[in-house]
Amino acid sequence: MDFELEKIFMQRCLDLAMLGLGNVAPNPMVGSVLVHRNKIIGEGFHRKFGELHAEVNAINSVKNKELLCESSLFVNLEPCSHWGKTPPCADFIIEHKIPKVVIGIIDSFSKVAGKGIEKLRNANIEVKVDILKKESRYLNRRFFTFHEKKRPYIFLKWAKTSDGFIDKLRNNFNISPSQISNSFSKMLTHYHRSVESGIFVGTNTALLDNPHLSVREWKEKNPIRIVLDRNLRLPKTLHLFDNQIFTIVFTEQNFFENEKNLEYIKISFENEKIMLNEILDVLFEKNILSIIVEGGEKLLNTFIRNDFWDEAIVFTSNFCFGQGVNSPMLPENAILKTNLTLNNNFLQIFEKKI
């Protein structure tokens, strides 16, 4: 098959895989197509965590199964070789006597990591790897970061005024938070929350803003809420403690009581890097694939200062405060990848140069 044609079929796998965004974590997003004589005869994607994988859905979608023994299966990630929530996809491919498998990228998860390819080749199946490898890795950057760095993929997010402030100066929670973003930017923020696993704020943000940290503007699944409360000074009247969404509170205190959808976890606060490492270790153990750090300024700068971030999402409005809480400053290794205008707001997305 022509290499350019292989790239077209792999791109279709990537497009299908994207349909699982927000529903398959902590699994990767995977799409698959079956090609017979340069024509797609079946396709599928991983729809939801715990349900059938992309390769199985693609094979099951083929009406004439007799064509499988003359077809090539394309998939953007190496087929699994182990039992998890579902049987191994490599076994299912072998069972249906598919002679060739084309793969976007090898899976770095320790239970796969080349074992799926080995199993296919041992069954005399031709395997071709690294078709649109860069694109395949980028699509599942959360998944690869999670397994290779043993921590969630970290998004930093804030909104700032045109003169560089993220809030007015406030010292009590009777003063309402300043609205910087417009309604479209807010809706986009809620969409982003819906596709990530967790959302993280500091103590002052919880106190002063009393946020819900939900997806009210998008009506999809809510991320797990994560908050710092070193001395357990957050009142239970806050929206974070409404027991509607699973919430994790990190503290250094010994006396606390877990409730429905509320878990307290004790960590050390003496050293900020050790604190972040402890937090990220816990989130990794809880299979939280990605988090959005939404503030405040102190927490965001703590992540930046200790180089714990992967992308930063920054909204800039046309408002001016004159004075207030300064916007975080990204380091020199931040690369601007996206620059969009959203009515009277600007959206910039930065990635960390590796």
Residue with tokens 């039992």: 83
Q: CA 217, CA 211: separation in Å to the nearest integer?
A: 14
- CATH 3.40.430.10, the chain: domain bounds: 150-352
Assess contact for 53 and 37: CB atoms under 8 A: no
Query: Average pLDDT in the 281-302 region?
Result: 96
The single residue of 55, 196, 294, 297 carrying the catalytic annotation is 55
Give the pLDDT confidence of 208-226 residue by residue, as tens digits: 999 999 998 777 889 999 9
- Contacting residues for 354 by C-beta, under 8 A, at least 6 apart: none
Give the pLDDT confidence of 11-55 residue by residue, as tens digits: 999 999 999 999 999 999 999 999 999 999 999 999 999 999 999
The verdict on domain 150-352 having CATH code 3.40.430.10 is yes
Evaluate the omega torsion of the peptide bond into residue 296 and state whether it is cis, within 30 degrees of 0. Answer: yes
Where do runs of H (alpha helix) occur along 150-285? 183-195, 203-209, 272-285
Q: CA 288, CA 306: separation in Å to the nearest integer?
A: 20
Q: CA 208, CA 276: separation in Å to the nearest integer?
A: 23
**pLDDT given for residue 173 in this prediction:** 57
pLDDT band at 85 (very low <50, low <70, confident <90, very high): confident
Q: CA 51, CA 44: separation in Å to the nearest integer?
A: 12
- Contacting residues for 169 by C-beta, under 8 A, at least 6 apart: 323, 324, 325
In the chain, % of residues over pLDDT 70 = 98
Closest by alpha carbon to 324, among 135, 118, 136, 165?
165
Q: CA 41, CA 291: separation in Å to the nearest integer?
A: 38
Whether residue 176 is predicted with pLDDT greater than 90 in this model: the reply is no
Q: Is the pTM of this model over 0.75?
A: yes
CATH of 3-140, one of 3.40.140.10, 3.40.50.720, 2.40.30.210, 3.40.50.2300: 3.40.140.10
Assess contact for 103 and 140: CB atoms under 8 A: no
Catalytic: 95?
no
Q: Kindly compute the dihedral angle of the four CA atoms of residues 116, 119, 125, 128, in this order, to the nearest 10 degrees.
A: 30
- CATH 3.40.140.10, the chain: domain bounds: 3-140
Q: CA 228, CA 173: separation in Å to the nearest integer?
A: 17
**3-state SS class at 10:** helix
Q: CA 160, CA 201: separation in Å to the nearest integer?
A: 17
In the chain, % of residues over pLDDT 90 = 80
**pLDDT given for residue 33 in this prediction:** 98
pLDDT band at 174 (very low <50, low <70, confident <90, very high): low
- Contacting residues for 352 by C-beta, under 8 A, at least 6 apart: 307, 309, 310, 311, 333, 334, 335
Length of the chain: 354
**pLDDT given for residue 83 in this prediction:** 65
